[in-house]
């Protein structure tokens, strides 16, 4: 039988093609929503193209862009989940990191056949992407690192190991103890050795220093965007800013930083000229909870469709990813490794840690800094980890008189009308509250 006939009659292949088309459609829909905006900053084109290349066209050359290490031609790709894997070590070993947390409804359905029904869609989608090899992002990874964060992610590692080369990274759940910190440093040191073995390249002090500087450059630009989003009248929509931040996971830090610097420059010019995307009276929303992962732009789009602007996010696919810099006392290998280990553990406020008081402080601080009118707390179905922390978030926000709306959903578009109604009512309420406060 010739290859074309096999392709047409093979049910798995047919299913794969159908899902590929579905994913391309969801990607185009999410991107068209952004591209149709008359206020879209010119520099957003770069980030939109990343998403199109990765999710709609499945282009792997997108991932082999310059890394900033001119002498290295990276051949190894390391897939990462969550935000505890030190990218500095990956770059210094001569490889490229890519972020694999899934945000697609199409692959969530497939993953759902391999994990328990009530698992969150991030895990279902990640499993679906890997098992079907739908886009090159997942297939080209030489190793995939799964930190043992929440229960779902931990068990996901086992499932993924039937399809790909999985390395589990043990993350302590209580980070304040001396023992946990020592253990973590040992794990990170072991990971460094594994990277060296995989790439055949020893991590030298100079290369690590360069990698630390490079990621610090990306963090600088991410924080610059963060500052811009504080302006009284917003100059960028939240769904655009989140897309640019999400795109970091699919680009090299070196290229992304240059593109983000261009975007920031354009936004600062807009701010100086008073070119805004909404007036100072528009309700200002902070999105918190489970991460919005492309192409699942459902909640982000609905918030802004209703006239509010998402001016801040507290998400591991957004600001939290690139916020905290590495503090290094000396540039010896030992100090750099300690600084890296500390950076990827201590400031992280992923709800898989307990206690996680820092997250509450951070949220409180953000509501002041961004002059937040209301919080949308995004809970993906099956995610108890985030839901557990909601009660305390609601309590502290009640004391500050900041309304919180809990939205429980998944990646399917089926509940969109119901969500629209709830978000519309919430935006209207916080808008009225804001005007009332202004009138005094």
Applying CB under 6 A, which residues contact ligand SF4?
Answer: 82-83, 101, 120, 122-123, 149-150, 152-153, 290-291, 316, 350, 352, 380, 383, 385-386
Rounded to a whole number of angstroms, the minimum distance from the CB of residue 379 to ligand SF4 is 8
CA distances from 372 to 163, 168, 230, 357, 434 (A): 44, 38, 10, 20, 10
CB closer to ligand SF4 out of 66 and 116: 116
- Dist CA 158 CA 126 (whole Å): 13
Query: Cβ 49 to ligand SF4, closest distance in Å?
Result: 25
CB 315 within 8 A of CB 297: no
Q: Which of 44, 143 has the CB closer to ligand SF4? A: 143
Residues 6+ apart with CB under 8 A from 434: 281, 283, 284, 373
**Residue whose CB is less far from ligand SF4, 153 or 298:** 153
Residue placing its CB nearer to ligand SF4 in the complex, 152 or 312 = 152
CB 347, min distance to ligand SF4, A: 13
Q: Which residue do the tokens 């792997």 mark?
A: 60
170: left (phi over 0), alpha (psi -120 to 50) or beta: beta
CB of 27 to ligand SF4, least distance (A): 21
- Before 355, cis peptide (omega within 30)? yes
Residue placing its CB nearer to ligand SF4 in the complex, 54 or 145: 145
Least distance between ligand SF4 and beta carbon 377 (Å): 13
Measured between alpha carbons, how far is 78 from 72 in angstroms, rounded to an integer?
Answer: 16
* CA 35 to chain CA centroid, nearest Å: 21
Nearer to ligand SF4, 145 or 316 (CB): 316
End-to-end CA, the chain: 78
Nearer to ligand SF4, 53 or 410 (CB): 410
Residue with Cβ nearer ligand SF4 (315 or 373): 315
Q: Is the peptide bond before 339 cis (omega within 30 degrees of 0)?
A: no
Under 8 Å between Cβ of 336 and 209: yes
Shortest separation between residue 381's beta carbon and ligand SF4, angstroms: 9
Looking at the Cβ atoms of 326 and 336, the one nearer to ligand SF4 is: 326
- At residue 233, the 3 state secondary structure works out as coil
What number of other Cβ atoms are within 10 A of residue 77's Cβ? 21
* Nearby residues of 53 by Cβ (< 8 Å), 6 or more positions away: 59, 62
CB 170, min distance to ligand SF4, A: 14
CB of 317 to ligand SF4, least distance (A): 7
State both tokens at 401.
């008189």
Other C-beta atoms closer than 10 Å to the C-beta of 174 total 10
For the CB of residue 120, give the shortest distance to ligand SF4 in the complex, in Å. 3
Based on the number of CB atoms within 10 Å of its own CB, is 338 exposed (0-12), middle (13-18) or buried (19 or more)? buried
Contacts of 151 (CB under 8 A, 6+ apart): 385
| 3 state SS of 196 | helix
- Closer Cβ to ligand SF4, 256 or 386, answer by number: 386
Residue 268 burial (C-beta neighbours within 10 Å; 0-12, 13-18, 19+): middle
Report helix, strand or coil for 290. Answer: coil
CB of residue 144 vs ligand SF4: minimum separation in angstroms?
14
């Amino acid at each position: 039988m010739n290859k074309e006939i096999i392709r047409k009659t093979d049910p798995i292949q047919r299913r794969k093609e159908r899902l590929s088309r579905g994913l391309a459609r969801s990607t185009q829909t999410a991107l068209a929503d952004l591209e149709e905006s008359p206020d879209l900053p010119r520099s957003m084109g770069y980030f939109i193209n990343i998403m199109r290349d990765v999710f709609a066209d499945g282009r792997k050359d997108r991932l082999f862009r310059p890394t900033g290490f001119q002498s290295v031609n990276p051949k190894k790709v390391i897939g990462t989940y969550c935000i505890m894997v030190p990218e500095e070590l990956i770059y210094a070993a001569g490889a490229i990191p890519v972020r694999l947390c899934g945000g697609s409804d199409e692959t969530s359905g497939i993953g759902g056949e391999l994990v328990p029904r009530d698992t969150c869609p991030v895990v279902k989608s990640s499993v679906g992407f890997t098992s079907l090899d739908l886009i090159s992002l997942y297939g080209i990874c030489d190793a995939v690192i799964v930190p043992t964060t929440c229960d779902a992610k931990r068990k996901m590692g086992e499932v993924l190991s039937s399809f790909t080369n999985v390395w589990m990274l043990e993350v302590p759940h209580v980070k304040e103890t001396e023992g946990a910190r020592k253990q973590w440093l040992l794990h990170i040191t072991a990971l460094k050795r594994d990277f060296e073995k995989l790439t055949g390249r020893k991590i030298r002090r100079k290369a690590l220093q360069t990698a630390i500087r490079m990621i610090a450059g990306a963090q600088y630009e991410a924080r610059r965007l963060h500052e811009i989003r504080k302006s009284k009248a917003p100059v960028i929509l939240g769904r655009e800013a989140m897309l640019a931040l999400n795109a970091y996971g699919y680009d090299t830090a070196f290229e992304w930083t240059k593109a983000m610097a261009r975007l920031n420059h354009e936004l600062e010019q807009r701010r100086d000229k008073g070119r805004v995307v909404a007036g100072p009276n528009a309700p200002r929303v902070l999105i918190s909870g489970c991460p919005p992962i492309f192409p699942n732009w459902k909640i982000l789009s609905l918030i802004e469709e209703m006239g509010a602007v998402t001016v801040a996010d507290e998400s591991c696919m957004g600001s939290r990813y690139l916020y905290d810099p590495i503090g290094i006392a000396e540039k010896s290998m030992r100090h750099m490794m300690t600084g890296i280990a500390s950076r990827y553990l201590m400031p992280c406020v992923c709800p898989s840690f307990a206690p996680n008081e820092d997250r509450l402080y951070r949220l409180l601080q953000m509501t002041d800094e961004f002059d937040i009118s209301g919080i949308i707390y995004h809970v993906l179905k099956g995610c108890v980890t985030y839901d557990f922390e909601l009660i305390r978030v609601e309590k502290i926000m009640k004391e500050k008189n900041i309304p919180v709306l809990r939205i429980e959903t998944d990646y399917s578009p089926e509940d969109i009308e119901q969500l629209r109604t709830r978000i519309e009512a919430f935006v209207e309420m916080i808008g009225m509250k804001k005007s009332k406060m202004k009138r005094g």
